Every structure is written in C-alpha cells, then in structure tokens.
Amino acid sequence: MSVLDQRDQDFEALERGPLDVLIIGGGIVGTGIARDLALRGLRVALVEQDDLASGTSSRPTRLIHGGLRYLEMFDFALVRTDMREREVLLRLAPHLVQPLQFLMPMYRRGVLYRAKLQAGMQLYDALSFDKSLPTRQWLNKRQLLRIEPGLDPNGLQGAWRFYDGQVSLVERLVVENALDAARAGGLILTHAPASGFLRDEDGRVIGALVRDGFSGREVRAQARLTVNATGPWLDLTTAGLRPGRRPLLRLTKGVHIVTPAASRHAHVLFAEHDGRLFFVIPWLGYSLVGTTDTDYHGDPSAAAADAAEVQYLVDEAGRAFPSARFDDVYYSYAGVRALVRIEHVSEGKVSRKHALHDHARRDGVPGIVSVVGGKVTGYRAIAEEVGDLVARKLGLRRHADSTTELHPLPGGQLGDIDSYVEAELWPLAEPLGLDHEQAAHLGSVYGSMAPAVIARVERDPSLAARVCPDEPTILAELNHAVEAEWAASIGDVLLRRTALGLRACQALDCLDAVADHLAPLLGWDAAEKRRQIAAYQTEIAPMRRFSRTDVRV
C-alpha cells in the first residue's frame, strides 16, 4: 500500500469512528497523551496541523532537568516532579535521553552568594534523592581550568559540577511517543488541522472538523472527549468556546543559536547584562547557546530571532569563553513557551507549572479539556494526569491506570547504548557495507528500532548510500521516515526525523538529491518537487537570517 493510500485509509477511519478521545496537537504533550491513553486501551486519534514536533517542542534547550532557577521561584514540587521524570526518561529512552555533566562557574562572588548557591545545590540534590546520576562536586579554579581551559580565568573562583539529562533529538522523542500510541491502536494524522469544534444541540463538544492539508478533504472526527494540547495556539483554538474570557496563556519567546563548538562540557552561566541564567551546551558537535525570555504576541508559528537577541547570546557567551567563535552563527531558532497566565511579574519569573483546564467546569462547555503550559521534562507525568482525568470523566474503570512509566519507548528496548551498538547493530551493519560511524549513528537516532532501518538495506543495498558525503545518514532513513514515521515533506524528513536539517548547512548542499529520492516515495511530479524544495527553503529561512556560513537560501 502506498503512503497516500494509507493516509486516505486513516482519514476514513477517523471519520468512521467513534473515538473515545480526540487529541488536537502533535507536540511532546499531545503525543505523550496519545501514548498514555492508547496504552490504557482507549480508542484514540491525534491530529496535528503541521508535523509532529513542528512547533515549540522542537525549539527548547534540549535538556531533561529539574531547573535550578525554579528553586529561586520556590517551585519545589515542579523541581521534584521533573527530577523524578528525568530518571524515568533515562530508563525509558536511553538512546535519546542521556546524562550530561554541567559546570556552573563562579566569578567574583561574595561569601553570602556562594553560601546561597551551595544551599541551592544541596536542595537540588535532596529533591533528586532517588537519582542514578553522580552527586554535585565543587571544583577549585585549578581543577576547573584543567578540564575546561577555554573559560575566562579572570576573577574565576571555581565551579559546581553536577549532572542532568540531555535529549539531543527531542523531535525523535515526540515521534517515538506517537509510534507507541500507533502500535497500541491509536490513529496519528499529521498535516491535518482541526478547523473547528463539533458541538451537539446542548453545546457539548463532540469532536472536531479535520481537514487533510494535502487534498483539502474534510471529515467529522467525533469523540466522547476532546483534549486540546495545542501549546501556544491554545487561546486561538479555544476562542470560540470562551468568548470574551481572559486568555489562559502568557506567551514568551526563547531564542537559541548554534555555533562552532566552544566548550568541552555544558555550562550554566549568568548574563552580565541582566543576570539571567543561560546555557552553553555541547550539541551534535556544535555549541547550543540559549535561551532568552521575552513576552511574545502574535502567531506562534512566526516566532524568529531578532538581531538584538542573537547579539545578546553571542556577547554573553563570549564573556565566559573569550577565544570561542560564538559570532560565527550557523543558525538560530526561536520557540514560544505556553505558560500559565500570570500578570505583573517579569517573563523569567512566570512559573513553568502546567494546569488542566476543564471547560465544563470553568466555561460551561462540556466535552473538552485543555492542557495549559508544561515542560518537555515533565511531559509524561502531564500525560498521565490527563489520562487519569479522562478516565474519570468517561467513567472508565477498566482503563483507569497508566502504564507509561513501566514501558520503554519503541527505541528504548536496550540497556547501555554503546554496548547495544557493539553487540547488536555493528554485526548487522558491517556485512552490508555500513561503517562503524553509521552503526553508532543509527543506534543514537533509532535505538532498538535501528534493525528495522538496517533491514531496508538488506532488501535494497542501494539504500546504504550516504545522503550527504560528510554525514552518516543513509538513504534507508529517508524511506523509513516516509513509510514508517508519517513524514510527508522535506522539512519533516530533514528537521524532525533524521536531523540532517540540524547540521550547520541544514542539508542545503544535498537538498536536490534528497528531493529526488523522496519524490517517488511521496508521488511528487517535477513541479511538486520544485514546490517542496522551495517550501523547505522558506521553512528554514528564519533560522538562517543571521547565519554566517557560506551556504545561503
């Protein structure tokens, strides 16, 4: 069956229904909810206006952490929950979520400040009492410069060393949640915007009108309950349900830049300009620097870095690492945080706690629940909370308990990732002409699902070819993205499945070859292929606005 035929069948199934739950929004929270409910045995469908992880979920700092600065906001419960979830994700997705060593350098700080920070570090450790990661350690100046010689030594007193988690490919975390939901019987439809809610004669929400973003076909997706997980689009999607009411969200924008590698370790730093905490983190062989935090108004999909924000990050990171090439920006990205609305405090002081908004109780509109706010780290716990609420509202006993904490994600059926690559993947990859770098790459992206990608090469040896000469990604991954992971555009494949679009050149130097390979898989003629290439160039243009590389859009 072709990809297009499968999509038609999925839309027919969506229309045929009936569903227990319709989820709107394909970010980390939406896919997490779909997974939770599908594993409970409910009839679930998820619809996403664009692609999985195409919004805020693909634009964070890519950390799985409690958040040291949330201690200053007295969000102890949030930190504790996220610390617990960090341990869960290290266990459920060891190929995607891995320990990361952090350094927090101290410059010219007085005794009281250092004592305050030490107390904070002790509290951070206490709130993660069940952690598997090493405990904190103070490094003096000599020890610190030995392991991180690029730091500015002037006024340097030492640093705290501690550990958190990193999810380098957060897009893959979203995709794997969707895959697990689908394996449990859930229906996943991307490029399928919900154009309006369906309501019965009593005003109850009974689903949504869903449009196929490619064919224009519209279907009525009916469900006993609808869950709105649209993130920063929440106020826009619920405007018709709560006319004249106060917005639920406060939107803030966070900007990151990707630069040449500047440090050996991840660093927590404090900006000289305004005292804000920010990060310099090793990522995919580069440095990821961020983030900013400013109020945002407008369409979340239009969020982009401006010159002042980029310069702020370049300047502040450069103060800590004076010899680094932060001004050689490869690209930037901006995401919009959907925070629970709190007025009269600065952006950085707004709580990162989430809330569940039951429209029946709060707005007199039964049949729909909205998720307000939330962080990547806590997505699974949020999804479990939503699942518990759904079970109560639908009066379900048989499906009352969540099992997501116990079941690894689809690629997480392994122990140590390095051992898995050596014992399982390398023996499969080597006879097919793949090198060790490619075996390790497949393990880091797909985990225990990597043999399914390698099997494509067994069936068609031509798929062992590299997509780009300098990258380990192979053609089989393009096929897998389209045929097994709902990718339907060049951006879907490069930015949110294979990560080729996250490299410094963002795959612009192999764009034509990628389009040529995808065209027969997705039924593109010559005109459509040109349109798809232009669409990808348009999609990444805001990211490359301040790029100082030789590749241009």
Asked if 508 contacts 544 with a C-beta cutoff of 8 angstroms, the reply is: no
What is the distance in angstroms between the CA of the first residue and the CA of the last residue of the chain?
A: 36
Q: What is the CA radius of gyration of the chain?
A: 23
What is the mean pLDDT for each group of 10 consecutive residues in the chain (553 residues)?
Answer: 86 93 98 97 97 96 82 72 91 96 93 82 76 87 97 96 95 98 98 96 96 95 98 94 89 97 96 92 97 93 96 97 97 94 56 86 95 93 96 83 94 94 97 97 98 98 96 98 98 97 96 98 97 98 87 42
What SS3 state is found at 40? Answer: coil
What was the pLDDT predicted at 243? 84
Angle (CA) 373-377-401 rounded to 5° is 85
Number of Cβ atoms within 10 Å of the Cβ of 403: 14
> Taking each helix axis from N to C terminus, what angle separates 450-459 and 475-484, rounded to the nearest 10 degrees?
110
Strand positions, DSSP E, 194-312 = 194-199, 205-211, 218-228, 249-260, 266-270, 277-283, 286-290, 294-295
Domains in the chain (CATH in brackets) are 3-56+171-247+353-393 (3.50.50.60), 97-165+249-349 (3.30.9.10), 417-544 (1.10.8.870)
H/E run at residue 547: none
Asked if 496 contacts 54 with a C-beta cutoff of 8 angstroms, the reply is: yes
Q: What is the DSSP letter of 348?
A: G
Helical spans, DSSP H, in 233-378 = 234-237, 307-320, 359-363
Name residues whose C-beta falls within 8 Å of residue 296's C-beta, 6 or more positions apart in sequence: 251, 252, 253, 303, 336
**Using CA atoms, how far apart are residues 225 and 21, in angstroms rounded to an integer?**
5
From residue 259, alpha-carbon distances to 222, 317, 534, 549 in Å are 47, 11, 25, 10
Instruction: Mark 499-522 as b/e (b = at least 16 C-beta within 10 Å).
Output: bbbbbbbbbbebbeebbebbeebb
**Using CA atoms, how far apart are residues 301 and 59, in angstroms rounded to an integer?**
12
Residues in the chain: 553
Of 370, 385, 400, 331, whose CA–CA distance to 39 is shortest? 400
From residue 502, alpha-carbon distances to 145, 325, 467 in Å are 31, 19, 14
**Using CA atoms, how far apart are residues 487 and 305, in angstroms rounded to an integer?**
26
What was the pLDDT predicted at 233? 97
Residue 135: which region, alpha, beta or left (left: phi > 0; alpha: psi -120 to 50)?
Answer: beta
**Using CA atoms, how far apart are residues 41 and 251, in angstroms rounded to an integer?**
34
Burial status of residue 105 (CB atoms within 10 A of its CB: 0-12, 13-18, 19 or more): buried
**Using CA atoms, how far apart are residues 308 and 340, in angstroms rounded to an integer?**
27
What was the pLDDT predicted at 552? 42
**Using CA atoms, how far apart are residues 218 and 211, in angstroms rounded to an integer?**
4
**Using CA atoms, how far apart are residues 426 and 421, in angstroms rounded to an integer?**
6
From residue 418, alpha-carbon distances to 113, 138, 168 in Å are 41, 29, 16
Which amino acid makes up residue 341? R
What was the pLDDT predicted at 63? 96
